[in-house]
Amino acid sequence: MRRPYVAGNWKMHGTVREAAELAGGLAAQIGQIDNIDVALCPPYTALSTVSEAIRGSRLRLGAQDLHWEKSGAFTGEVSAGMLVDAGCHCVIIGHSERRQFFGETEESVNRKLKSAVAAGLEAIVCVGETLVEREGGSTLGVVERQLAGGLEGAGCDLLTIAYEPVWAIGTGKVASPEQAQEVHGFIRAWLGRRYGAAAGGIRILYGGSVKPDNIVSLSAQPDIDGALVGGASLKVDSFSDIVRGSLKRI
Ligand code: PGA
């Protein structure tokens, strides 16, 4: 009932030319793949170029962040309307790197979510615990706090959640399928209390060192509906393999 969804978070990597090559290569490899949603989230500088490169394919364009205001004196920021204008279909919100390095809070996540959805963007809201929090036994409490604050007063149309344990991001330490499923199941139950039956349709992606060799076992878990991929989304072959792997259920 939930269509698999894989998004590539390119982070702060690549020139415009490299972005065009990567997007063009992906459009050729997986541009017509069916039964799955695939989004590419390049840096702002490459949005228009990637939009052009994936035109005519089924790939979608996404951004890595936004500001909640529509326009104004906010130097360095980009609004939801501007992202739509640049061809974006979705936007990542509350990535742990934004929380850790750029002062992102539950409140700013909440404002960004509402602004994105109001503009018609699909929002991928990221949650996840640090290693200290996991070892201290507070994983579910942290995730609950991030969900409650980030989603306060927001509906679930256009909402996707990404569970990304901070200790698994860029470290090569992937959560085991069982560890990930435990949190995904918790998130699904929380969404069920908040949104009722509609929660069954909300996609929950896993992120953190996803690779072609672990995507199949992760995707086999009942509440894992796809992946948010960082490092492995920067190569045509590895990202294409992840997209194909996420369609397989074992
Ligand atoms: P990674 O990053 O796949 O490089 O671990 C995931 C993410 O930060 O979204």
CATH number for 38: 3.20.20.70
Question: Quick one: pLDDT band at residue 39, thresholds 50, 70, 90?
Answer: very high
Please give the DSSP secondary-structure letter assigned to residue 116.
Answer: H
How far is it, in rounded angstroms, from Cα 94 to Cα 109? 6
Task: Give how far Cα 40 sits from Cα of 108, 140, 141, 202, Å.
Answer: 23, 29, 31, 20
The mean per-residue pLDDT over the stretch 68-91 comes to 98
Looking at the DSSP assignment, which residues form a beta bridge with residue 207? Answer: 228
Instruction: State residue 250's pLDDT score.
Output: 53
Condensed to tens digits (0 to 9), the pLDDT of residues 170-185 reads 898 889 999 999 999 9
Q: Does residue 233 belong to any structural domain of this protein?
A: no
| pLDDT at residue 225 is higher than 80 | yes
Question: Quick one: pLDDT band at residue 158, thresholds 50, 70, 90?
Answer: very high
List residues near ligand 1 (CB under 6 A): 9, 164, 169-170, 207-210, 228-232
How far is it, in rounded angstroms, from Cα 20 to Cα 40? 11
Q: Does residue 40 belong to any structural domain of this protein?
A: yes
Q: Whose CA is nearest to atom 7 of ligand 1?
A: 230
How far is the centre of ligand 1, averaged over its atoms, from the C-alpha of 3 (Å)?
21
Q: Does residue 234 belong to any structural domain of this protein?
A: no
If phi > 0 it is left, if psi is from -120 to 50 it is alpha, else beta; for residue 153 that is left
Percent of the chain residues past pLDDT 90, beyond the cut: 96
Q: Does residue 236 belong to any structural domain of this protein?
A: no
Nearest to 41 by CA among 100, 122, 140: 122
The active-site residue out of 104, 122, 129, 164 is: 164
Q: Does residue 117 belong to any structural domain of this protein?
A: yes
How far is the centre of ligand 1, averaged over its atoms, from the C-alpha of 199 (Å)?
25
pTM (2 d.p.) = 0.97
Which residues does 88 contact at the CB level (< 8 Å), separation at least 6? 47, 51, 61, 62, 63, 121
Pocket test for ligand 1, best of 40, 131, 164, 239 (most atoms within 8 A of CB): 164
Q: Does residue 65 belong to any structural domain of this protein?
A: yes
Percent of the chain residues past pLDDT 70, beyond the cut: 99
Nearest to 183 by CA among 210, 222, 135: 222
The active-site residue out of 67, 95, 104, 133 is: 95
The mean per-residue pLDDT over the stretch 26-35 comes to 96
Overall number of domains in the chain: 1
Q: Does residue 150 belong to any structural domain of this protein?
A: yes
The mean per-residue pLDDT over the stretch 95-101 comes to 97
Domain that holds residue 174: 5-226+241-249
Active site includes 164? yes
Higher pLDDT, 241 or 249: 241
Q: Does residue 181 belong to any structural domain of this protein?
A: yes
- What value does the mean pLDDT of the chain take? 97
